[in-house]
Structure 1
Amino acid sequence: FFILLCFVSSLSYLFLSHTINITHYKSFFFTILLFLELLSIAIGYISREMGDNNVNLPPGFRFYPTDEELVVHFLQRKAALLPCHPDVIPDLDLYPYDPWELNGKALAEGNQWYFYSRRTQNRNTSNGYWKPMGIDEPVVNSSSKKVGMKKYFLFYIGEGPAGIKTNWIMQEYRLSDCDSSSSRSSKRS
Structure 2
Amino acid sequence: MSFLSMVEAQLPPGFRFHPRDDELICDYLAAKVTGDRSGGGFWGSPMMVDVDLNKCEPWDLPEMACVGGKEWYFFSLRDRKYATGQRTNRATLSGYWKATGKDRLVARKGMLVGMRKTLVFYQGRAPKGKKTDWVMHEYRMEGPGDPSKLSFKGQKEVVD
Please confirm whether the aligned pair reaches a TM-score higher than 0.5, indicating the same fold.
yes
**What TM-score, normalized by structure 2, do the two folds share?**
0.77
Divergent runs of 4+, >4 A? none
5+ residue gaps in structure 1? 1-46
Deviation at 1:52, TM superposition (A): 3.1
Contact 2:76/2:152, CA 8 A, preserved across alignment: no
1-side partners of 2:61 and 2:3: how far apart?
A: 14
Deviation at 1:178, TM superposition (A): 5.9
Verify: 1:118 aligned to 2:77, yes or no. Answer: yes
Contact 2:77/2:151, CA 8 A, preserved across alignment: no
Could you tell me which residue of structure 2 aligns to residue 159 of structure 1? 125
Contact 1:90/1:115, CA 8 A, preserved across alignment: yes
**What TM-score, normalized by structure 1, do the two folds share?**
0.66
Could you tell me which residue of structure 2 aligns to residue 43 of structure 1? none
**Cα shift readout 1:19-55 (whole Å, capped 9, x = no counterpart):** xxxxxxxxxxxxxxxxxxxxxxxxxxxx9xxx83555
Could you tell me which residue of structure 1 aligns to residue 83 of structure 2? none
Aligned 1:1-189 pairs, distance under 5 A: 52=3, 54=5, 56=8, 58-60=11-13, 61-83=15-37, 84-85=41-42, 87=45, 88-120=47-79, 121-141=88-108, 143-176=109-142, 177=146, 182-189=150-157
Deviation at 1:90, TM superposition (A): 1.1
Change (3 A) 1:129 1:178: farther
> Please, which moves more after superposition, 102-111 or 126-135?
102-111
Identity %: 38
Contact 2:4/2:67, CA 8 A, preserved across alignment: no
2-side partners of 1:178 and 1:149: how far apart?
A: 15
1-side partners of 2:147 and 2:115: how far apart?
A: 10
Over the residues paired in the alignment, what is the CA RMSD in angstroms? Answer: 2.1
2-side partners of 1:81 and 1:145: how far apart?
A: 23
Contact 1:95/1:125, CA 8 A, preserved across alignment: yes
Work out the number of aligned pairs and report it.
Answer: 138
- Which structure has more relative contact order (CA 8 Å, sep 6+)? It is 1
1:144 is matched by which residue type in structure 2?
A: G
2-side partners of 1:178 and 1:157: how far apart?
A: 35
**3-state SS of paired residue (2:54):** coil
5+ residue gaps in structure 2? 80-87
Q: Whose strand fraction is larger, Structure 1's or Structure 2's?
A: 2
1-side partners of 2:148 and 2:101: how far apart?
A: 18
